[in-house]
Amino acid sequence: MTGDTIYALSSGALPAAIAIVRVSGPAAEVAAERLAGQLPEPRSASLRRLRAADGAIIDEALLLRFPAPNTATGEPLVELHLHGGRAVVARLLDELSTMPGLREAEPGEFTRRALINSRLDLTQAEGLADLLSAETEWQRRAAIESAGGALRRQVEGWRDRLIALSARAEAAIDYVGDEDETALDEHALGAEAAIVAQEMRAWLVQPAAELLTNGVKIVLAGPPNSGKSSLFNALVGAEKAIVTSIPGTTRDIIEARIDFDGLPANLLDTAGLRASDDTVEQIGVERAFDALSQADIVLWLGNPEDAPVRSNVILIHSRADERVDVPEGSIATSVRTSTGTAKLRSVLLARLRALLPPFDQAALNRRQRHLLSEAADALTGAIGRDLLIVAESLRQSLASVDVVLGRNSTEEVMDALFGRFCLGK
């Protein structure tokens, strides 16, 4: 257990109806006793008058205490449910700061302690961070899978098998038997390691978690005046981008997050593509090409024959109220008559569904993918090699898997993750 006892406001912005302050660490219960006198039974809420050291009343609050180790942090934990006024909370935090061994928590520090005390693993902590930042229904459902340990169970399953294989490899090395038997071991171990590697690779080719956290990138592109900004505004449902009849109106990339039936997307409006002598417009066109190269989906509003040659292009015949001949394979839209926007939405929805990781399956983020591909590579390298190499490959693979789970992870990884949390989590 860490020496310091930490405290922070764990509920949202003040003022609010109630504010929850959490205190975690060895001195949590002593601190609560100083404030409230005799403490209630564990896990049962009780109303208490909180007093400062000089006897002055701070507030009337609900007090809950959770004895270690079955708490959110794995340490003794106290929750104070106060009236959510700024001055009330400030006064209480001030009082806590004067108590010996207590200090204000850093962002994510409660969760960090949960990790140190094995209340959760790193994949769950990452899921928790995603859950707190989830804005759409799919993000929430995927995050709750990870936070609940779906990925942890999968990775721990691989870890257990690698440990068993490792043990067999070490035993076979120690036992200098006849050559045929050793060859048999090598073959069997290599084959089983290959199965684990294959399963890992099957996960590695699944859609990345970043698509969920950042949203699928949908880029509107085409020549000037084709109606990109108008369609952008129609899809966003707000007059966000400037629309005029002057070709070359849009210069900067304009970005909006949209929630398509719970599916997260980022819609980007771009400058019309054309050669121009205007320096500002040239920069805008460069940015448009940049955005195009990073798009998960392109909505192309130009002539079909000029469309970028990519599989992710949806052809749009815009301003359809003015232009009658709809090319085959294009979706006709008009913001004036609202034609085609419903159709476009349903086509986009289907594309998003196909691109995004299924919400009932935990998806891998960049960190996890990198480590698991290292783990799989190590195993693949073991196939058909002699026992010493097989044993070493298994060790390497295990080391990578351990880092996925947050066993032996570096301070750097931890800082990067817990920096994402808000204070009090």
Ligand X SMILES: Nc1nc2c(ncn2[C@@H]2O[C@H](COP(=O)(O)OP(=O)(O)OP(=O)(O)O)[C@@H](O)[C@H]2O)c(=O)[nH]1
Size of the site for Mg ion (CB under 5 A): 4
Q: Is the dihedral of CA 128, 130, 136, 139 positive or negative?
A: negative
Peptide bond into 69 cis (omega under 30): yes
**Concatenated DSSP letters of 59-125:** EEEEEEEE-SSSSSSSS-EEEEEEEE-HHHHHHHHHHHHTSTTEEEPPTTHHHHHHHHTTSS-HHHH
Pairing of strands 102-104, 16-24: unpaired
**Contact with Mg ion (CB under 5 A) among 229, 330, 333, 334:** 229
**Contact with ligand X (CB under 6 A) among 44, 245, 294, 410:** 245
> How many residues are listed for the chain in this entry?
425
**Ligand-binding site membership of 397 (annotated):** no
The torsion angles phi and psi of 52, rounded to 5 degrees, stand at: -80, 175
The answer to whether 51 touches 63, Cβ cutoff 8 Å, is: no
- For residue 186, give every residue at least 6 positions away whose Cβ sits within 8 Å of its Cβ, in sequence order, or none: 172, 384, 385, 386, 387, 390
Residue 226 binding Mg ion, by CB under 5 A:
no
Least Å distance, CB 22 to ligand X, is: 50
Pairing of strands 57-66, 263-269: unpaired
- Return the number of the residue (101 or 248) whose C-beta is nearest ligand X: 248
Helices 411-418/109-116 angle, 10° precision? 140
Contact pattern for Mg ion over residues 234 through 253, marking x by CB under 5 A = ---------------xx---
The answer to whether 424 touches 105, Cβ cutoff 8 Å, is: yes
Residue nearest to ligand X (CB): 272
Residue 334 binding ligand X, by CB under 6 A:
yes
**Contact with ligand X (CB under 6 A) among 15, 67, 157, 247:** 247
The Cα 351–Cα 268 span in angstroms is 16
Helices 179-204/387-405 angle, 10° precision? 30
Least Å distance, CB 80 to ligand X, is: 54
**Ligand-binding site membership of 157 (annotated):** no
Residue 84 binding ligand X, by CB under 6 A:
no
- The region that residue 74 occupies, defined by phi over 0 for left and psi between -120 and 50 for alpha, beta otherwise, is left
**Ligand-binding site membership of 311 (annotated):** no
Least Å distance, CB 154 to ligand X, is: 45
The answer to whether 10 touches 64, Cβ cutoff 8 Å, is: no
Residue 230 binding ligand X, by CB under 6 A:
yes
Contact pattern for ligand X over residues 291 through 320, marking x by CB under 6 A = ---------------------------xx-
Instruction: Report the half-sphere exposure of 387 (CA within 13 A, side-chain side).
Output: 22
**Ligand-binding site membership of 343 (annotated):** no
- Return the number of the residue (291 or 379) whose C-beta is nearest Mg ion: 291
- Return the number of the residue (127 or 227) whose C-beta is nearest ligand X: 227
Residue 284 binding ligand X, by CB under 6 A:
no
**Ligand-binding site membership of 166 (annotated):** no
Burial of 342 (0-12, 13-18, 19+ CB in 10 A): exposed
Least Å distance, CB 296 to ligand X, is: 21
**Ligand-binding site membership of 112 (annotated):** no
Least Å distance, CB 331 to ligand X, is: 13
- Return the number of the residue (250 or 409) whose C-beta is nearest Mg ion: 250
**Ligand-binding site membership of 245 (annotated):** yes
Q: Which residues are annotated as a binding site for GTP?
A: 225-230, 244-250, 269-272
Q: Which residues are annotated as a binding site for Mg(2+)?
A: 229, 250
Q: Which residues are annotated as a binding site for (6S)-5-formyl-5,6,7,8-tetrahydrofolate?
A: 22, 79, 119, 425
Q: Which residues are annotated as a binding site?
A: 22, 79, 119, 225-230, 244-250, 269-272, 425
Residues forming the site for Mg ion (CB under 5 A): 228-229, 249-250
Residues forming the site for ligand X (CB under 6 A): 224-230, 243-245, 247-250, 271-272, 318-319, 321-322, 334-336
Q: Which residues are annotated as a binding site for K(+)?
A: 225, 244, 246, 249
